[in-house]
Chain A
Amino acid sequence: DGGITQSPKYLFRKEGQNVTLSCEQNLNHDAMYWYRQDPGQGLRLIYYSQIVNDFQKGDIAEGYSVSREKKESFPLTVTSAQKNPTAFYLCASSWGWTGAYEQYFGPGTRLTVT
């Protein structure tokens, strides 16, 4: 079955620790995205990647880092510099980077930092 996987589903960390969220897709999509969702707010774009070895900052990239060394993988690292890391994180992918392409979403990772 083709799709996007994110792991783990729930993640707990102590404040001051970096944590990496996994995102893998086997849809052969070129573009991948990371979003953050907070209660009562719309999705906000953290980073996106149009092709392998390239990525761009989204609206709220501060305190986050990504890599895109393989087409199917786009891990997100939440660093200790991120002031409010507790949130629901969603990864998505699409054939291309324009609104003309449907985005496929992973199941999400709920990160809690205490």
Chain B
Amino acid sequence: KNEVEQSPQNLTAQEGEFITINCSYSVGISALHWLQQHPGGGIVSLFMLSSGKKKHGRLIATINIQEKHSSLHITASHPRDSAVYICAVLGGNTGNQFYFGTGTSLTVIP
């Protein structure tokens, strides 16, 4: 059983579409991270949040602690958004355990 589940696993969108990627987790957490991994393998941290909502450019991340769920939204999607998006949480029994989702592979077609 994975402590962090993401959906969908794969997503193809037309340029300009609004995109939502979901993350559900089963452990208590102190923080949730959204990461972006490009085809070359490098990973960039997009957001870190423990409550509410954060916005950066066309990206919006929300978290609902009670429902143990987070969403990453991309508005006006662009081909350069094509990447794997990974949800990660820090928590568990010790509070110091990292759990990673397997990622959502996004392809935006021009």
Contacts and interface: CB of A to CB of B under 8 A. Distances in A.
A102 B45 contact: yes
Interface residues of B, number: 28
Contact of A43 (B29, B91, B100): B100
Contacts of A99: 29-33, 48, 50, 89-91, 98
B45 A105 contact: yes
**Category for how many chain A residues contact B:** 20 to 34
Q: Which of A45, A88, A99, A104 has the most CB of B within 10 A?
A: A99
Chain B CB within 10 Å — which of A42, A90, A97, A101 has the most? A42
Given A105-B44, A108-B42, A98 B100 contact: no
B96 A97 contact: yes
Interface in B53-110: 86, 88-91, 96, 98-103
B41 A110 contact: yes
A43 B88 CA distance: 9
